């Protein structure tokens, strides 16, 4: 499949998705969001893909938000704006529910829809020069691609309120401090540091990874007792996998496991 506004490549178990509009700070217009949705579908369906890394082209931006010019055209009334938010949310949900770990490698500005895109990933790495924030209220709007909900769940309601109400840009260090960014690196080390994380994940049992992700994701919307019941259920299912036998045998035999994802 060929894309206009994104790059998509699969190598060694990793799907790499790059938003590719560097002259527009990789801003998300309708076509870009559509193509992202297609790429997420492709990565989900491809059994050779075990991890997805999402980043932005160029040295300045991950994604500097929704395309503001297009936003004014398409979301100039309640009906248009509601449809636009629902469409973006449906695509970002595909990313969140890919069933495989996804990492946003935040290489510069991640603002508005760009920050929301990163929040829909399982994990986030960032370079020390990255700037993150939800500046929508500066434009008289609010986050529309799930950011108000995901930020509150990832970093807590206090942080979500601060980011939404001030519209400030936050440093990667601050985003790391409040738990939005999992790991930070110098710009030169961002790629290598992210790859290290990818490598660690690739060495784990794929079914266990899927169960672990689903537990946290589904547990968000449950009370603790229900979440623990779900954990028990998955724990039981994991015990029936070949991967569990392989993982434990490999430990006892002092060798690396060779997981099959079954
Ligand atoms: N939508 C559309 N175009 C955008 C954009 C966006 N969200 N963000 C940046 N661009 C465009 C600029 O209009 C400019 O285009 P031009 O060269 O045709 O004029 C180009 O990208 C470069 O941006 P510029 O503002 O000149 O770069 P900068 O280094 O001075 O500032 C930012 C970078 C990210 C701080 C600034 O572009 C910005 O504030 N962007 C909007 C962020 C935002 O509010 N996002 C939330 C949207 S809901």
- Tell whether pTM > 0.85: yes
* C-alpha 64 – ligand 1 centre gap (Å): 6
Nearest residue (CA) to ligand 1, atom 41: 64
Does 136 sit in the ligand 1 pocket, CB within 6 Å? yes
Residue numbers annotated as active site: 116, 136
Query: What is the residue-level pLDDT of the chain in tens, covering all 262 positions?
Result: 789 999 999 999 999 999 999 999 999 999 999 999 999 999 999 999 999 999 999 989 999 999 999 988 888 889 999 999 999 999 999 999 999 999 999 999 999 999 999 999 999 999 999 999 999 999 999 999 999 999 999 999 999 999 999 999 999 999 999 999 999 999 999 999 999 999 999 999 999 999 999 999 999 999 999 999 999 999 999 999 999 999 999 999 999 999 998 9
CB 16 within 8 A of CB 40: no
* C-alpha 112 – ligand 1 centre gap (Å): 11
Point out the ligand 1 atom lying closest to the alpha carbon of residue 169: 35
CB 243 within 8 A of CB 208: yes
Radius of gyration of the chain (CA): 19
Nearest residue (CA) to ligand 1, atom 27: 25
CB 146 within 8 A of CB 120: yes
Does 35 sit in the ligand 1 pocket, CB within 6 Å? no
Question: What are the C-alpha distances in Å from 135 to residues 107, 228, 232?
Answer: 18, 37, 41
Does 137 sit in the ligand 1 pocket, CB within 6 Å? no
Looking at residue 259, what is its pLDDT? 93
**Mutational pocket test of ligand 1: of 64, 68, 114, the residue with most ligand atoms within 8 Å of the beta carbon:** 64
């Amino acid at each position: 499949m060929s894309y206009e506004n994104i790059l998509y490549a699969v190598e060694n178990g990793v799907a790499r998705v790059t938003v590719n509009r560097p002259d527009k700070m990789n801003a998300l217009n309708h076509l870009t969001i559509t193509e992202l949705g297609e790429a997420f579908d492709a990565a989900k369906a491809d059994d050779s893909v075990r991890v997805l890394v999402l980043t932005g082209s160029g040295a300045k931006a991950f994604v500097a938000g929704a395309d503001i010019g297009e936003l004014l055209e398409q979301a100039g009334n309640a009906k248009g704006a509601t449809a636009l938010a629902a469409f973006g949310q449906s695509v970002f949900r595909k990313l969140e529910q890919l069933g495989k770990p996804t990492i946003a490698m935040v290489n510069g500005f991640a603002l508005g829809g760009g920050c929301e895109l990163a929040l829909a990933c399982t994990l986030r790495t960032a370079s020390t020069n990255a700037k993150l924030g939800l500046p929508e209220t500066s434009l008289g709007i609010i986050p529309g691609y799930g950011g108000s909900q995901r930020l509150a769940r990832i970093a807590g309601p206090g942080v979500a309120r601060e980011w939404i109400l001030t519209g400030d840009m936050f440093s990667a260090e601050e985003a790391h401090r409040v738990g939005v960014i999992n790991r930070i690196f110098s710009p030169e080390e961002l790629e290598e540091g992210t790859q290290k994380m990818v490598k660690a994940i690739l060495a784990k049992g794929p079914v266990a990874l899927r169960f672990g992700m689903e537990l946290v994701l589904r547990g968000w919307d449950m009370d603790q007792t229900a979440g623990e019941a779900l954990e028990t259920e998955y724990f039981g299912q994991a015990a029936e996998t070949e991967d569990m036998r392989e993982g434990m045998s490999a430990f006892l035999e002092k060798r690396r496991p060779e997981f099959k994802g079954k």
